Amino acid sequence: MIVSQRELWTGRLLLVVLMAVTVMPFVSLFVTALHPAGTYPSGLEWPESPQWSNFARAFEAADMGRLLVSSVLIELGVVPLALLIATLAGFALGHLRAPGGRVIFIAFVLGLTLPFEGIIIPLYYQMRDLGLLNTRWAIILPLLGLFMPFAVFWMRAHFVNVPPDISEAARIDGATTWQLFWRIHVPLSTPALSSLAILLFLWTWNQFLLAVVLVDDPSQRTMAGALGAFQGQWGTDIPLLCAGSLLIHADAADLPRLPAPVRHGAAAGLGQGMTAPAGLSRLPRPPFDPELEAVLLARRDEVVTTLTAEEIPGLRRRSATADALAPLLEDGTWTSSVHVVPGAARGPDVRLVLLRPVDAPTAAPCLYHLHGGGLVTGSAYDDLAVAAQLAARAGCAVASVDYRLAPEHPFPAAVEDAYAGLVWLADAAPGLGLDPTRLVVGGISAGGGLAAATALLARDRGGPPLLGQLLVCPMLDDRDGSPSAEQMRGAGAWDADANATAWRAYLGDRYGGEDVPAHAAPARATDLTGLPPAFLDVGSAETFRDEVVAYAERIWLAGGRAELHVWPGGFHGFDALVPDAAVSRDARRARLRWLARVLS
């Protein structure tokens, strides 16, 4: 065939144009990925200072290390099984010419016309009824069915074109149908199987819709699901989204061929993602305070980041005992007593630990303290040293209550114990050398949430009057849907997964539902009027940040008094882990000023 020079150059020009059209989106992705995170670049402008670290940040933000493992597991569940079924079906339809095979083949061809998006809702209900939602099987099983029309069509096309003489010769030699399939046709179908395997692998790897709709747990999704990490409620981080897209589409074989800065950034992200996985569907995480972060990394084993129900017993072994009182009593500053007081109706008695300053006036004010521990662990002696230090400087006593723990004692056990102890303390105050008119309820973490719930209960039942509520990084909302909860998933202390475990233990089937009462989760309260003045503080880099800020705003909207502090770079419970950090000292001083002002 003779081709003119004009035709030759026209063909080459068209190929160059097609190549440019194909490559330009990837060039655009690459250039945009190098812009500073949080910006909105346009066009193909090369940034003044390329942010190669965006690749590491994208890897960590999307938790790609964990998703890589999840994707491999899904691939192992889909590709081998799909190849096996398609090969068997293709052999039966294309070579054996089974009765009714033409009708079955037409059904498979019609399956190719079925729009995938049109059956996603029926698939959701089917997976729900099978109890497979939020598992990898919710991705694997639908993909097997969805791939079958094309896979069977592909393999049948191969077997139809195999010369029948090969099978006839094998039959003459005594081969059975199975031997004919396994020893003759499967080896001959290696090219078709290899091509189909590549297609199925890529389609499974890039599966996004099924992963997002049928699986809520980010760790059970595919790599493509990582793209949701850069889109939050309030916006999308375009540079990190582009960096993540490039990493997702660059498999292990491509990594060595990437530019060195990208390769090094991805490797750094892999190390960070495997040791401290971050959440998936969130905005970029706010930074930790440098002083706090150094200690957080050095004492990682002491920090509870995530928590499962099976880990609760082990966590309880870390709870403080009565021995924690010894250092407080050594210098003779405090006198201590333990009281077993009547609990709620049909409930057991409640134990209170009381610390009273030796040099306190006859009727001392009292901080009614509720310990932390996610409602599932802890004792009256937990956080007591911190509360006593604050109380000593404010000139008041401390009473700490040993409330019942979930899941053995779900709602309303803890808040009823807290309220029963408060009622007894107010009634017995004169005999204990306390002033019943100067009581402040307070707590840390879950104890802060219980303190807020106790204040609501005292208001609603006409209980003891309170001077204030001291809510330190309080656990207020069971719904876990805030941006800060998603931002801090897998990072810092007490992430959204740990929080969900605790709330499930406390609320049972009510968790996350519409009927959760305000006395269980104070953020559910619709009326925040008539409450005592509140002090609320929280770290900027912790799960509870947004729900604490929202609670303070709602108190203000209800005409109440609230003092709010958001400590920059603070993770959950930062001042207990790093008491000497500058931000920790500032937090303790702010609490002391508020408490002294309220008591005065």
In three-state form (DSSP H/G/I as H, E/B as E, the rest C), the secondary structure along 537-599 is EEECCCCCHHHHHHHHHHHHHCCCCEEEEEECCCCCCHHHHCCCCHHHHHHHHHHHHHHHHHH
Catalytic site includes residue 572: yes
Beta strands in 261-418 (DSSP E): 334-341, 350-357, 364-370, 397-402
Tell me the C-alpha distance between 27 and 46, whole Å. Answer: 11
Using alpha carbons, select from 280, 300, 309, 154 the residue that is nearest to residue 216: 280
CA distances from 329 to 324, 336, 384, 398 (A): 10, 8, 12, 13
- Spell out the residues 6+ positions from residue 110 whose beta carbon is closer than 8 angstroms to its own: 149
User: Given 486, 542, 547, 563, which residue is catalytic?
Assistant: 542
At 358, list the tokens: 């030796």
Please write down the long-range contacts of 337-344, taking CB distance under 8 Å and 24 or more positions apart: 337/432, 339/424, 339/428, 341/420, 341/421, 341/424, 341/425, 341/428, 342/420, 342/424, 343/416, 343/417, 343/420, 344/416, 344/417, 344/419, 344/420
CB 124 within 8 Å of CB 213: yes
Please give the structure tokens belonging to residue 391.
Answer: 């109380």
How many Å apart are CA 39 and CA 264, to the nearest integer? 23
Known catalytic residue at 249: no
**Cα torsion at 139, 226, 299, 293 (round to 10°)?**
-160
Looking at 167, 445, 482, 584, which residue is catalytic?
Answer: 445
Quick one: tokens of 553?
């705003």
CA distances to 127, 160, 204, 307, 562 from 121, rounded to whole Å, are 10, 36, 19, 32, 45
Measure Cα distances from 262 to 53, 249, 268, 356, 549 in Å.
8, 14, 10, 61, 38
Q: What amino acid occupies position 235?
A: G
Sequence-distant (≥ 6) Cβ neighbours of residue 390 within 8 angstroms: 367, 588, 591, 592, 595
* Catalytic-labelled residue, pool 158, 519, 565, 572: 572
Distance separating alpha carbons of residues 472 and 484, to the nearest angstrom: 17
Give the residue among 456, 593, 423 at the shortest CA–CA distance from 523: 456
Is 563 tagged catalytic? no
Q: For the residues of 160-224, what is the DSSP string, one character each?
A: HTS-HHHHHHHHHTT--HHHIIIIIIHHHTHHHHHHHHHHHHHHHHT--HHHHHH---GGGS-GG
Question: So which residues are the catalytic ones?
Answer: 445, 542, 572
